[in-house]
Amino acid sequence: MSVQIKRRADYKPPAFLITTVDLHVTLHPTDTRVISTLKVTRQGSHNQPLVLDGDNLPVHKLLIDNAPLAAKSDDNDGYILTDSSLSIPVDKNEFTLYIETSIAPDNNKALEGLYLSGGAYCTQCEAEGFRRITFFLDRPDVLSVYTVTVVGDEKYPMLLSNGNPVDKGQLSDGKHFVKWHDPHPKPCYLFALVAGDFDLLTDSYTTMSGKEVALELYVDKGKKHQGTFALESLKRAMKWDEDVFGLEYDLDIYMIVAVDFFNMGAMENKGLNVFNSKFVLADQDTATDDDFFNVEAVIAHEYFHNWTGNRVTCRDWFQLSLKEGLTVFRDQQFSADMTSELSNRIKHVRVMREHQFSEDASAMSHPIRPDEVIEMNNFYTVTVYDKGAEVIRMFHTLLGVDGFRQGMDEYFRRHDGQAVTCDDFVSAMQSATSLDLSQFSLWYSQSGTPVISVEQQELENGKVQFTLSQRTPKTSDQHDKQPLYMPINIEIIGQGGELYSDNEGVINDGMVILDKESMSFTVDASGNVLTPAVLGNFSAPAKVDNPLSTESLLTIFKHGKDAFNRWDAMQSIYDRCIRELEQSPEASIDENIWVGIRSAISREIDNVELLGECLVIPSFETLCQLRTSVDVAELSKARTEFCHQFAQQLEAALLDVFNSIESKPYSYEQSAVNQRRCKNVVLAHLALLPQYEHLVTEQFEASDNMTDTLGALRSAQFCRKEVFDSLMAKFEQRYNKDPLVLDKWFALHATQPTKDIFATITMLCEHPQFTMSNPNRVRSVIGSFAFYNSEMFHALDGSGYKFVADYLLKLDKLNPQVAARIVTPLTQWQGFASQHQRLMKEQLGRLLNHKGLSKDVFEKVSKSLAYGAD
Ligand code: B3K
Ligand code: ZN
């Protein structure tokens, strides 16, 4: 297969710009006509032809300043059309180009470009989907003012595009049209068009300068009541961005459309966001607390893009983290302000440890600003997004709230209306601080997860020397690593909980800067045992190697000032216990640990937020990241055994917590969320003890909300099979008309570690609500199996790997983007024992040899197989 690798170093400014775009789109399922009129200006003096991107598009008509141009032939110098480009010979410096083309949205199952699904026309252009609609300079540094006329049947009463509506009317053939104008120049990836028949929720928001903005939310017919929370979230996001960053909305109307068929979460098209309905629709009967949280977070994320992404956009796609890392950081800060700082931080750190660390350890390792890409869609990764956000968080930590705001103000002052680079962002931040950020900027170019090691050594005269060192192991893409500039949150805690400071004054406000391979400082311990709690609040995206005794970990839990550290100490204790059971399955856990946890529970019984988080045993995926050569069956067995001992040993304490939390009528507000969370975590532990099975069924029957219903169902996974089956059957009967809710049921089935899992999955795929063409369904069945059913996915007969590969071969023909996501667990073989590796590579080999494999899947599979070969 011949593929083209694009490199960041090869960037060249565009040879032409397109200042205005006039699009006229006449919708039809198999013959949508797209007429595009472009004002084109040559950049600089050169005589190159104008080369437009166009993905398998025909040219029906082409005019330059009204003069027709034909295709090139022997005796005529016309345009040259290939399956990916249109080259137009032209010597004018400024001209108007008219091109007529056509597309078939009904045959578009990749859901990129313009597609017709679930009865609505919808577009997705980021990263390079606009070239599937019409010929264009499909790159983010070409900014144009758009005027768009959408023509459609009466069957589609709502015809939407970016900006403000400026005209509408009936046409003689029974069709109607709406014309839109967006005054803000934008790159084509922010173009959007939607046509359909929706229920509409309306509201308005008055901005800080007194401008009234119309808010419109379009949802499927009959779902209006499920849209209220999203609309309220939008207003909270608009207010927060004004309060915290002084940023105001800039059009008269802000529209959000929720659609069922969507490859990812949502898309920030200017003035017309398109959302996966999963991140819009929410009410207490159908959405869990986590769903409500996600709706608010994604609504905010897309809204925040209006400044960080749309007003200031990326020069090229290698700079993606410029908008995504920054916008994720902004949405995280917003969510923390709306809900709780602690549980937000824990949530995001879990994502880093479970998914980003594994990406960095795999063949897909890349810096937050990648250097090489085959398929851009493969780089919307946890590294670019979440590690990118961690890098922005470090700017925030280093510059402080005011310094960061000053840097942001300067960034907008310099770059509003431009397409810029990560270096431009760093330079704006540099203007707001006296710190030298040059070493810090290595975070943009160096991949991999640094490991911080902590050592302590007793010196004479009662002093203890602490040494912090850093090392970044080589990654698949880079062998040589340099020391990074890291802010490290640190607490030195004495046995009685007193905090110590150092003699050299390197700890400032609980923070040290580690900017070389290693650094040391001393503390007067005067005979006291000191416990260093390092990387509090996950102050840098790193792993920590801090060999503390169990007693020290319990000290951190008991006396640590930083709540995050306290949670983290508990996680380390669990990890340590599970390791013991891996080494010897008969081992019994040190009684002191149970005593410590029991007393922790009784001390914190009213602090349900911390308690709820602390009682979560690290996931299988997180444990994998702390180990090498994982034998899946062994690790799962040890984890399961630990969970059983945990429930038995702590039975009385867990029951106390369960009984202390009274069930109240549902409301989505933080204290109630914390209580439900804690209660459901405890229920899952108790469910391992047969005598508490009734608590699970009782909660299921009594529940007035999806959080508790699903909490009961998850716990029922640990009860007798007939209990689980009967509750699952009731759930399915109740929600079988609501595929979005049924996704939860699909996922629960697909993650059951049962021997007959393939029969179950086959049955799920035949369910009337399942369709391979809907990414949400595929993710909930096949994605859940591959990512979260570790025991069966990694079964040593290779059946799990083969099942996923077989499915991906079919899916890849329809939707390469989704296939390339789901192939991820198969490509991350590096952390597993050799018997797993061999079987995983066997399936990767099958995929690679498949004729017609998409470049999306090809890029990930070929890199994975090449890993370690050099
Ligand atoms: N910018 C979009 C993601 C587009 C993904 C293209 N494959 C959503 C977001 O991050 O807000
Ligand atoms: Zn984004």
Quick one: which of 321, 313, 303 has its CA closest to 244?
303
Contact indicator for 517, 461 with CB cutoff of 8 Å = no
On the question of a common fold for 1-197 and 313-445, the answer reads no
Residue-wise pLDDT tens digits, 284-304: 999 999 999 999 999 999 999
Confidence at 870, pLDDT banded by 50, 70, 90: low
| Atom number of ligand 1 nearest to Cα 377 | 7
Angle at 742 between CA 702 and CA 339, to 5 degrees: 65
- Quote the percentage of the chain above a pLDDT of 90: 97
**C-alpha span between 262 and 776 (Å, rounded):** 8
Task: Output the CA 271–ligand 2 centroid distance in Å.
Answer: 15
Over range 161-182, report the average pLDDT: 97
Are 789 and 753 within 8 A, CB to CB?
Answer: yes
Contacts of 247 (CB under 8 A, 6+ apart): 241, 306, 307, 412
Supply the pLDDT for residue 191: 99
Instruction: Ligand 1: list residues with CB < 6 Å.
Output: 126-127, 264, 266-268, 301-302, 305, 324, 377, 380
Is residue 347 within 8 Å of residue 852, measured between CB atoms? no
d(CA 164, CA 67): 32
Q: Are 514 and 486 in contact (CB under 8 A)?
A: yes
DSSP tag of 385: I
771-821 residue pLDDT tens: 999 999 999 999 999 999 999 999 999 999 999 999 999 999 999 999 999
Closest CA to 218 of 169, 265, 156, 146: 156
Query: What would the pLDDT profile of 66-91 be if each residue is shown by its tens digit?
Result: 999 999 999 889 999 999 999 999 99
Mean pLDDT of the chain: 97
| Class of domain 736-870 as given by CATH | mainly alpha
CATH code, 453-547: 2.60.40.1840
Q: What is the pLDDT of residue 75?
A: 87
Contacts 24+ apart (CB under 8 A), 202-209: 203/231, 203/235, 205/234, 205/235, 205/238, 205/249, 205/254, 207/238, 207/242, 207/248, 207/249, 208/242, 208/248, 209/248
Tell me what pLDDT residue 563 has.
93
Name the 3-class secondary structure at 377: helix
- Domain-wise residue ranges, the chain: 1-197, 313-445, 453-547, 736-870
Could you give the residue ranges of the DSSP H alpha helices within 204-311?
228-245, 289-304
* Nearest residue by C-alpha to atom 9 in ligand 1: 267
Which residue, chain included where needed, has tokens 């207490």? 284
Cα-flanking dihedrals φ and ψ of residue 627, to 5°?
-130, 165
- Specify the 3-state DSSP secondary structure of 82: coil
Query: What is 313-445's CATH topology?
Result: Neutral Protease; domain 2 (1.10.390)
Mean pLDDT (whole number) for 20-46: 98
What is the band of 194 on the pLDDT scale with cuts at 50, 70, 90? very high
**Closest listed residue to residue 245, CA positions, set 308, 163, 183:** 308
Model pLDDT for residues 344-396, shown as the tens digit of each residue: 999 999 999 999 999 999 999 999 999 999 999 999 999 999 999 999 999 99
What pLDDT score does 588 carry? Answer: 87
Buried b / exposed e along 78-116 (16+ C-beta atoms within 10 A): bbebeeeebbbebeeeebebbbbbbbebeebbbbbbbbb
Select which of 296, 302, 491, 613 is catalytic.
302
At residue 227, the pLDDT reads: 98
CA 267 to chain CA mean position, Å: 13
The model's confidence at residue 117, banded by pLDDT at 50, 70 and 90, is very high
- The ligand whose atoms approach the alpha carbon of 377 most closely is 1
pTM above threshold 0.85: yes
Q: What is the pLDDT of residue 26?
A: 98
Residue with tokens 């393939």: 758
Whole-number pLDDT of residue 260: 97
Ligand 1, atom 5, lies closest to the CA of 126
Pocket test for ligand 1, best of 186, 188, 308, 324 (most atoms within 8 A of CB): 324
Burial annotation 229-244 (CB, 10 A radius, 16+ → b, else e): bbbebbbbbbebbbee
Q: How far is the CA of 839 from the centre of ligand 2 (A)?
A: 36
Handedness of CA 728, 730, 734, 736 (dihedral sign): positive
Q: Which of 112, 268, 270, 384 to mutate to test the pocket of ligand 1 (most atoms within 8 A of CB)?
A: 268
- The beta strand positions in 472-555, using DSSP E, are 486-493, 499-500, 511-514, 518-524, 531-534, 543-545
- Distance (angstroms) between ligand 2 centre and the Cα of 442 equals 23
C-alpha–C-alpha distance, residues 745 and 856, integer Å? 29
Task: Compute the distance from residue 296 Cα to the ligand 2 centre, in Å.
Answer: 14
Distance 278 CA to ligand 2 centre (A): 16
Tokens 């994320």, residue? 301
Going by CATH, does the domain composed of 1-197 fall within 2.60.40.1730? yes
Distance of CA 270 to the CA centre of its chain: 20
CA 177, 181, 186: angle at the middle one, nearest 5?
130
- Sign of the CA dihedral running 308, 312, 317, 322: negative
Q: Is 302 one of the catalytic residues?
A: yes
Q: Closest by alpha carbon to 191, among 3, 401, 22, 14?
A: 22
Q: Provide mean pLDDT across the span 24-36.
A: 98
Identify the CA nearest to 493 among candidates 572, 553, 564: 553
Single-letter residue type at 805: A
**Residue nearest ligand 1's atom 10 by CA:** 324
